[in-house]
Amino acid sequence: MREVAIVAFAQTRHTSHDTGLSEPELIRPVIEEVKERTGLSRFGFTCSGSCDYLAGAPFSFVSALDALGAWPPISESHVEMDGAWALYEAWVRLQHGDIDSALVYGFGKSSLGDLRTIATLQLDPYYLAPLGLDLLSLAALQAAAVGAERKELDDIVRRSRADGRANPYALDLPDPDPDSDPGGDHAVRPLLTTDVPPVTDGAAAVVLATGDLARRLCPNPAYVRGIAHRIEPHYPGMRDLAHSASAADAARAAGVGEGPVEVAELHAQFPHEEIILRRALDLREDTGVNPSGGPLAANPVMATGLIRIGEAARPILDGSARRTVGHAAGGPCLQHNLVTVLEA
């Protein structure tokens, strides 16, 4: 495959509430930042990811185009998926060989509605949505299927929040305090409210460039050595919720196991998802998981997955790591998984 690298990554300072900024206003600064960092103002291809139902209106991506300075007209597409899949589409487009750069962005404002119940709309409209199954109920079922020890889950939450407090782009969330509430405050059992990712508004942008251009633009490009994604059957009763076959398949196809992984940024919105994904990706104990704090510290839906890839690129861009993994997920209960391996 043609050599493609991440040469720039930018994200908003995510907020837990609606600041009143429109989506183009949210996106514009991160686009400006990656343009400034690369010195590029035009890209061979542009692709974005967002969701109409988060915005509460059709065509949420249309006005976003106004934030890009898309004139003269640009070669552009949009996925109704997390921005990580926009990055995938851009990576594929760069394989054609006729262009050498791509701009990718993802954005979402989950503060506008009740994400927990809006997620119900994504389910099988005949068998699942009529039951009113919500995001937390499904996550709780998967958590029950995993059956992890409470301490292990709490440790993941504590570590994620502490890392998030050290990350200027993530939210400042307090350590969960088991002493103040020994029984635990259950969202839907066995999920505790501290297991639930924060409502977050935010956006992120990535610039991809092919070999020669990448080296010109950036001292330490993060080369995409492998990228793959897989989906599995939708209905939770027709798959094994305790394991992620699709994440394991994607990891194999991306070549995660072909070398040591220093950092893995996983799109684990709940602590039990981190456990499932660690196993699926067959990560070793010495792999640092979600040093950014991960989705438990900032979860701007539709950008969260793209941010994982950006955060996995960051230590390579700054020269502190040589091989990292970025992961993104979509659909209920980790139905769809994308894995990318980045190398210095």
Q: Which of residues 277-336 bind other proteins (CB under 8 A)?
A: 330-332, 335-336
Find the part of the chain contacting other proteins (CB under 8 A) among 90-98, 216-224, 254-262, 290-298: 90-98
274/289 Cα distance (integer angstroms): 9
Query: Which of 29, 70, 211, 288 contacts other proteins by CB under 8 A?
Result: 70
Contact between 96 and other proteins by CB under 8 A: the answer reads yes
Query: Which of 30, 140, 173, 205 contacts other proteins by CB under 8 A?
Result: 140
Q: Could you tell me the CA-to-CA distances from 86 to 94, 194, 305 in Å, in that order?
A: 12, 30, 10
Total residues contacting other proteins (rule CB under 8 A)? 93
What would the 3-class secondary structure string for 165-178 be? HCCCCCCCCCCCCC
Matching residue, tokens 């999920």: 191
Residues in the chain: 344
Give, rounded to a whole angstrom, the gap between the first and last alpha carbons of the chain: 17
Query: Which of 36, 42, 77, 152 contacts other proteins by CB under 8 A?
Result: 77
| Minimum distance, C-beta of residue 27 to other proteins, in the bound complex (Å) | 13
* Residue closer to other proteins (CB basis): 165 or 279: 279
| Minimum distance, C-beta of residue 244 to other proteins, in the bound complex (Å) | 12
Contact between 61 and other proteins by CB under 8 A: the answer reads yes
Query: Which of 40, 104, 106, 134 contacts other proteins by CB under 8 A?
Result: 134
217/8 Cα distance (integer angstroms): 9
Give the type of residue at 332.
Answer: P
Contact between 79 and other proteins by CB under 8 A: the answer reads yes
What would the x/- binding string for other proteins be over residues 107 to 126, using CB under 8 A? Answer: -----x---xxxxxxxxxxx
| Minimum distance, C-beta of residue 214 to other proteins, in the bound complex (Å) | 17
Give the type of residue at 142.
Answer: Q
268/251 Cα distance (integer angstroms): 15
Q: Nearest-5° angle of CA 328, CA 87, CA 266? A: 20
Matching residue, tokens 């989950």: 110
| Minimum distance, C-beta of residue 230 to other proteins, in the bound complex (Å) | 6
Contact between 25 and other proteins by CB under 8 A: the answer reads no
Q: Is 41 exposed, middle or buried (0-12, 13-18, 19+ CB in 10 A)?
A: exposed
Contact between 150 and other proteins by CB under 8 A: the answer reads no
**Residues 196/176, Cβ–Cβ less than 8 Å:** no
**Residues 174/160, Cβ–Cβ less than 8 Å:** no
Phi, psi of 334 (to 5 degrees): 55, 45
Query: Which of 87, 191, 214, 334 contacts other proteins by CB under 8 A?
Result: 191
| Minimum distance, C-beta of residue 45 to other proteins, in the bound complex (Å) | 9
* Residue closer to other proteins (CB basis): 113 or 288: 113
Contact between 148 and other proteins by CB under 8 A: the answer reads no
Contact between 27 and other proteins by CB under 8 A: the answer reads no
Contact between 230 and other proteins by CB under 8 A: the answer reads yes
Contact between 68 and other proteins by CB under 8 A: the answer reads yes
For residue 103 the two structure tokens come to: 């701009």
Find the part of the chain contacting other proteins (CB under 8 A) among 157-165, 244-252, 260-268, 320-328: 244-252
Q: Could you tell me the CA-to-CA distances from 89 to 4, 28, 79, 147, 285 in Å, in that order?
A: 13, 21, 9, 36, 32
* Residue closer to other proteins (CB basis): 33 or 76: 76
283: region left, alpha or beta (phi > 0 left; psi from -120 to 50 alpha): beta
Query: Which of 8, 34, 65, 103 contacts other proteins by CB under 8 A?
Result: 65
| Minimum distance, C-beta of residue 143 to other proteins, in the bound complex (Å) | 7
